[in-house]
Every structure is written in C-alpha cells, then in structure tokens.
Amino acid sequence: MKKFGALFGCTALLSVSVSTYAAPAYVDFVEPRARGNDSVVYNPDPMSAGASGLTTFNVSNMDVPGTFGVDMSVGISKTITEAKWSCMHTTGNYQFAIVEGWQGGYGQNTGLASAVKDAWNAGFKDVDVYAFMCPNCHNSAASATQLVNYLKSNNVRFGMIWLDVEQCSGCWSTNLAANCEFVKSLASEYLRLGVKIGVYSSEGEWPQTVGASCTGLNAHPLWYAHYDGVPSFSDGLYRFGGWTKPAIKQFADSAGNSCGISVDRSWYP
C-alpha cells in the first residue's frame, strides 16, 4: 500500500480481500490515498520495507502457481463498475479483493457495500475489508464498532477485516508502546464483535509504527508488503511482531492487467 498525505486528512491503505488458506485471509493492494488527521500535511510513503518506487510484475498471473488478488483505496473503490470488477477477474485472473473500509480521519467508506457486492457479483472468490485507523486521526475502538455496524446493517458479505499498520506523518503517537496498545484495542473490539481479523504491515513499517517489541497479534493472519515483484514468500521479510509464517504477500504496487484500475497486487500459495 502506498499512502499520500493530505491537509485535513489522515489516511492509510488497506483493503479487504479474502484468500482461502487454512486460516481466514485476504490480500491487500493499495494506492495513493489521504489520511484524515485535521491538521497535518502528509507525504507519499511506500509501505514496504525496501520499497523504491513502482514495481511492475510482467508475468501473467496464469503462469505462476498460487492465487492472486487486488486491493484498492476508498476513492478508487467508488469508481469501479461491476463491469470493471468482472474485467479484473477474467482478464487479470484475480480471485480475491480487499477493499478499504475505513480511511483514518476521513472515516467510513460510504460506498463500501456497493463495491464489495460488485466484486462478489463479478466472480471474485473472496472479498475482505481493510481499515486504517490511527490515534491522532480521532479514531478509537468506537471506530471499529462503527465500521462493523455499517457492515452488518448493510448486509455486507465479507471474509475478514485487515488492520492496516503503517506509517503516516502525524497519524501516530511518538510513544510506540501506546501505538501498540491502540492497535491491540482495535483487534480486541473486532474480535468482541465476532469479526475475523488479520494484520497488514511490513518489516519496515511495523517497528516504526508500533515498535519492534510489539507482539501478541501473531495468532492472526499476516498480510505483509514487499514490492519486489515476486509472488513468493522466499524473501523471508515477514519475521516481525512474532509472526513466523505469512498468509498473503503484497508484492507490487501497480499492474498492467487490472483493466485500467489502480491497484496493488497480492498473492498467496
């Protein structure tokens, strides 16, 4: 996921997309988005350890074993027609999608129910939601409750919610331990409400955001980012936060087979 900061907004990129491995999981592909903190200007910041710009993976998804998926921001999700969803599914061979449901200080994606429905109708096998929430964006466990209530009241069919843990200028406390507890409080609230969860982050973003010593969430699936263009876990860059095995890898922040839609690309074996 890549993030763009904007005045008056704290936002992050995490979408939901489900994959059917032993535990519930989804993939996330993200693109520029704004965060919703009322007083900070944000700068572009790729969310993967060692990311150095756009990576395009040119091999067809059909040529590589495994399952491929996409993720998108609030803004992009509102522009995708069911026909475009179908195009991505058939042309790009994408099987799962993760749609951003909460955008920092900007809050709820009001088009989430429609986007998720269109993805299912287009033939995607799994659809998840991802949520970027941050303490300096006026978010709290109550925000998690609001998101879940929206999903339930709109009868949104989804697999799980991915907690997006990544840097955003001005979005987080300088106290990493406090940030760690904030993320855990969100996780606890989702679980209390009966929602399956996973975590999206990277080897570089995790220690910067919640601290290298932040553990306790590794019982849940990990969706990690490393934009090396390689749909494989062989890089080993998922050993943080207590995780020893990932569920999904976000391996590229662009795609040539996404029917003109700006997405991130993810994969699981």
Element (H, E) at 198: strand 197-201
Helix axes 82-91, 112-121, angle to 10 degrees: 50
Distance of CA 196 to the CA centre of its chain: 14
Q: How far apart are the first and last CA of the chain?
A: 20
Mark whether 82 is an active-site residue: no
Strands 248-252 and 264-268: antiparallel
**Which two tokens mark 5?**
């900061």
Out of 31, 166, 203, 205, which one is annotated catalytic?
A: 166
Give me the DSSP letters along 83-143: HHHHHHHHHS-EEEEEEEEEEGGG-B-TTHHHHHHHHHHTT-SEEEEEEE--GGGT--HHH
Q: How many CB atoms lie within 10 A of CB 48?
A: 27
Range 74-108 burial, b when 16+ CB lie within 10 A, else e: bbbbeebeeebbbbbbeebebbbbbbbbbbbbbbb
**Which two tokens mark 164?**
């997006």
Would you name the residues annotated as active-site residues? 166
